[in-house]
Copies of this chain bind each other. A is one copy, B any other.
Amino acid sequence: MRPREFDHDEVLRIAFDQFWRNGVRGTSLSDIARDAGVQRGSLYNAFGSKEALFLQAYERYAGDYLLALQRALGTGSLRKRLTAFFDLTITNFRAGTPPRGCPTTRGLMELGAAEGEGLDEEARQAFAGLISRITALVQDNLAAGAARGEFDGNAAAAALHIITVTRGLAVLERAFGDEPQLRKIAAHTIDLVLGRKGGSA
C-alpha cells in the first residue's frame, strides 16, 4: 500500500469551503486541486467524482453543524435556547462575514429534480437527514421545556413550524440579505411558539 500524500480531512474542508463560496456548479475540481495542492486525478481516486466529493464534504460539515446546534440548545431557558438556535441557522457559523446561504438548503434546491436518479437521491437523503435530525432536536427541547404558546401541547407541530420558518429564512437571506429582518421573523416565531412571555423553563 502506497500511503496518501494529502490529508483526507483537510481536502474535504477545503473543498467544502469552495463549494460553499462558489456553489457546486461554480467550483471545478481543478480549483480544489490547486487550492489543496493535490493532483486532480488523486481527487477522483480518493473520492470518486465531483458530486461524491461534495457529498462527503457536506456530511463532514453536517456533523459539525448538528453538534453546534446541540450545544446551542443545551443551556439556558427555552427562549434563550431557541434564540441561540435561530441565531445559528441565520449565521451558519460565519458571524460577521458576508452570507453564503445555508448549504443544506442550497444543496436541496440544486438537485436535478429528476425522478430518483442515483446519486441525486443519495444527496437528497443526506440533506433531508440533517433536517430531520434538527427537527427532532427542536421537538425534544420543546417537549422537555413544556412550551405553551399557540402550539400548546403539540411539540411535533411546533417543531415542524419552527423548522419550516428556518428553511424559509435561509431562502429570504438569499433574496434580500437583510439580517435584521430575519431576526425579527425569528423572534416573532419564538413568540408564537412560547407565548409572548413564556419559555422560562
Contacts and interface: CB of A to CB of B under 8 A. Distances in A.
B171 A171 contact: yes
Given A100-B113, A109-B110, A161 B175 contact: no
A71 interface: no
A172 B164 contact: yes
Q: What DSSP secondary structure best describes chain A's contact surface?
A: helix
Number of copies: 2
A186 to B, nearest CB: 9
A109 to B, nearest CB: 4
Interface in A149-164: 150, 157, 160-161, 163-164
A136 to B, nearest CB: 14
B106 A175 contact: no
A139 to B, nearest CB: 14
Contacts of A113: 20-23, 26, 100-101, 106
Nearest to A113: B100
Contacts of A114: 21-22, 26
A131 interface: yes
B176 A188 contact: no
Interface in A98-146: 98, 100-101, 105-106, 108-115, 124, 127-128, 131
